[in-house]
Amino acid sequence: MATVRMSEYLKHDIVQRFRSLWEKTTPYPKPEPKDGDALYNKHIMPHMDKIESVISTSLGSIMPEDDKGYRVTSSSNEMKALAPLDLKNASGEVVYEPDSPETITIPLSKERKFPILASRNSYYVDNPLFTFSRADQNFNNICVALETKREMQDGLERKVRKVRNLLENFTTLNQALKAWPAISKLVPEDKIAKVHEKQQRKRKEAQRKEMADEVVVDNDLNQTILTASLMGDN
């Protein structure tokens, strides 16, 4: 076997491949658009109808019909909200306090209308940031999905650290393959090929010798050479 050094680059590559393989076989939960739709239909859509009705009734006669000049609504297939996530680590300790909500993005099944907000002293406009109660089942479903995803990500990081720490025990890839054969699935093919290069060369040499031995025996070549050498040049 040819020796392949366990370089920092190789260790990083192995760790990243492990991470990608884990994420491929263990998909994260994610917020469902149906929950976003239910939130929108329940808490926002009725008010959007009121907003558009007020604008149309009060200012419709003096505003452009195509609303390109003045807009009070915009469309988006997602909305933002503050989520009081309760996230824990492996020891069960809370690592994200519920009273410190973070901004999350809630997907929708299609574009919906929202009131637009303009920042003070700025031309920048954005959709509002909503606050929903976790007593609302749809919003709670979204929060649970995000909490579960974060906990799974924390678990993955612990596994990644174990892999990285294990690799620190080996100075060559050859050692790692003998101790942990399954690691071959995480190693680039060219590195595996290099490890087996010398072994394959020895196998071919053995095969060639075996073929030569068979030819020699079948044709009695050794006897011919031996007889000729005993006779000398005469």
pLDDT in tens, 160-177: 999 999 999 999 998 898
Q: Which residues contact 115 (CB under 8 A, 6 or more apart)?
A: 48, 51, 72, 73, 127, 128
pLDDT tens-digit series, residues 9-61: 999 999 999 999 999 998 899 999 999 999 999 999 988 878 777 776 766 66
pLDDT at 64: 60
Per-residue model confidence as pLDDT tens digits over 173-192: 988 988 988 888 899 888 88
105-138: pLDDT as tens digits = 999 999 998 887 765 555 666 778 899 999 999 9
